Each structure stands twice: as C-alpha cells, then as structure tokens.
Amino acid sequence: MTSRRNFIKSGIGAGALLILGARRGMSLPQAAGTADSPLKGLRGNMGTFEHQGGTILWLDSGDELVVVDTQFPDGARAFWSAIAPKGERKIDLLMNTHHHGDHTAGMSVLKPHALRSVAQKNVPDLQRQQMKQSGVKGEAVTADELFETEWKAAVGKENVHAWYYGPAHTSGDAVIHFEHADIVHMGDLVFNLLPAYIDRSAGASIFGWIDRLETVHKQFSDSTIFVYGHGNTGAGISGTRADLLVMRDFFTALLDYTQKGIAAGTSKDDLARIEKLPGFPEHFNEGWLTAVPMNVAAAYEELTEE
C-alpha cells in the first residue's frame, strides 16, 4: 500500500493532462535496451512508445511492422523517426483503439505509410464529431477497414485479433490482442491507477465499462501483458489483468457513492464537490484534482438519465 501511495504522489501522466487540454514539455522515456531510444521493449519483438497522449503499441519483426494508435502528429513523427530512421518502411497494419485525438490525430502522419488501417466501425464518425466539437479544422484521417464486433488477421507469424464489446470509455473501444506475444492493447479502457475520462458525448457507459473490464479479465490470463492508453506516472502504462479489476472497483465505488447521494437528494454539484472517492484513496491523484468531480458528474448523469 505504501508503494501505491508513492505512485499517486509521483504525479500524473501527460495523457491525462492532454485530455483536459493542458500541455507541458515531456522528455522521451528511456528505452529498455538503448539509452537514447524512445522505443521501450515489452516482450518478443513488441514494445511501447510514449510521448504526449495515448500509448503506441508496436510490433517490429524486421520484416513486418504493426502499429496500434498514433498519438498526436508530433508524437507520430517522433515515433516514425525512431522506428523507421531511414523513412523507407511500410506499416503492414495500423490500428486505432478508439477515436480520441490523442490516439488518432497522428493518423495524418502514419497512415500514408500504412498498407492497411483498421478501426471499430463507429470510430470515423466519432473522430469527425470530436473535431467539429473542438473546432479542429481539416478532414479527419480515418481507418480504411472497419469492423463491427470482431476482426482478425495474420501478419507474418503473429495473429492480431480485435473485439468490440459495446459502449464503455466511448462507443468505439477496441480490445486488440497479439496472440503469440500474448499482449493486449486496452486503449483507454484502463487508466492505470488514475481516475477515468468518461466521454458521454461519445456514448460512454460506466455500467458497460464495468462489464467490459470483467469480460476481458476472464478472456485472458495472468501471463498476458496489458498496455493502457494512460497511466499514473509511477504505475506506468503496462501491467497485468489485475489492473482491470482495480479500474472496475473504482467504477463500482463511483456508482455507489453517486447512487447513495442521489437517494439522499444531494445535487449533482454538491456530490461532485470531492477530490477522492470515499473508501478508494488509491485512485486519488493529486495531479488531476478535477478528474473525480468530472467522474461523479458523469455517473450522476448516467444514473439519472431516462
């Protein structure tokens, strides 16, 4: 518990700040193998890349290259110069976990290098909707191949398998599994040891989210490596399926707190005037004080909607 508290004290991931529209300078993380590479090895020929925004997961066999998520254009360019220093490579498969700009805005940089691009079928419309809502000019760069609930392809020796289980963080969240490496990109279905961003304007559902986390937890094993869109600075952006149940427990506590408040006649504003959930200090993050109030407001809206 002490170490977990230290994680919380160490501050917040850049991704969470970006969701709130804040910006700050970030140095590239140190790689596992080479001191100056931003590519961090995970298992086999796969690894992660962090810059600003949602984590990129990559597979690089030497021949084949698979990329999940693209960050913002700056991050996409930094990733591309690290993975393809001579610029002559092709991406065999480029996938989106969901539509948020910190995961898809870099499509403008990476899609021209991609032979195939894949997303859940709601993602392109959600990308366009988000750009309109946030006043971003230009055309959304979207994936070419769309799937409804399940998609699978072989790339070299690896099988890539994606599922959509229904609304959770958005209404287009893909869970993407690399079968041989046994690595799953959860997108933003896990904010590792952080409160969540619940995008109701994109069809989010807290009840659905709890269900997805339990489904995916059952689907994989303790040896599966999970990669998350965002993580507390100390806890990081990868882990095991146990993290999924921590996120689930956060939502259960969130709904419980909010439901009790509604039953007692407390207003949404009064309920949202908290910085951490009662009985759930693990998820309190001193670097993101507005997160729990936003989560409570989203829970209130979901619990009181017709």
Chain residues that interact with Zn ion, rule: CB under 5 A: 100, 188
Complex with Zn ion: residue 92 or 188, whichever CB lies closer: 188
Over its C-alpha atoms, the chain yields an Rg (Å, rounded) of 19
Complex with Zn ion: residue 65 or 190, whichever CB lies closer: 190
Complex with Zn ion: residue 174 or 277, whichever CB lies closer: 174
State the minimum distance, in angstroms, from the CB of residue 197 to Zn ion: 6
State the minimum distance, in angstroms, from the CB of residue 99 to Zn ion: 8
For residue 35, give every residue at least 6 positions away whose Cβ sits within 8 Å of its Cβ, in sequence order, or none.
Answer: none
Q: What is the largest CA-CA distance in the chain?
A: 63
Tokens 């990308």 locate to 127
State the minimum distance, in angstroms, from the CB of residue 203 to Zn ion: 12
State the minimum distance, in angstroms, from the CB of residue 98 to Zn ion: 6
- Kindly tell me the burial class for residue 61, based on how many C-beta atoms sit within 10 Å of its own C-beta (0-12, 13-18, 19 or more): middle
Complex with Zn ion: residue 60 or 188, whichever CB lies closer: 188
> Strands (DSSP E) along 148-204, which ranges?
150-155, 158-164, 174-178, 183-185, 191-192
User: 194: how many CB neighbours lie within 10 A of its CB?
Assistant: 27
Q: Tell me which residue of 258, 230, 257 sits closest to 243, measured CA to CA.
A: 230
Complex with Zn ion: residue 100 or 248, whichever CB lies closer: 100
State the minimum distance, in angstroms, from the CB of residue 191 to Zn ion: 9
State the minimum distance, in angstroms, from the CB of residue 101 to Zn ion: 9
Q: How far is CA 125 from CA 54, 106, 147, 202, in A?
A: 19, 17, 13, 10
Tokens 């998350």 locate to 228
Complex with Zn ion: residue 100 or 113, whichever CB lies closer: 100
Tokens 């006043």 locate to 135
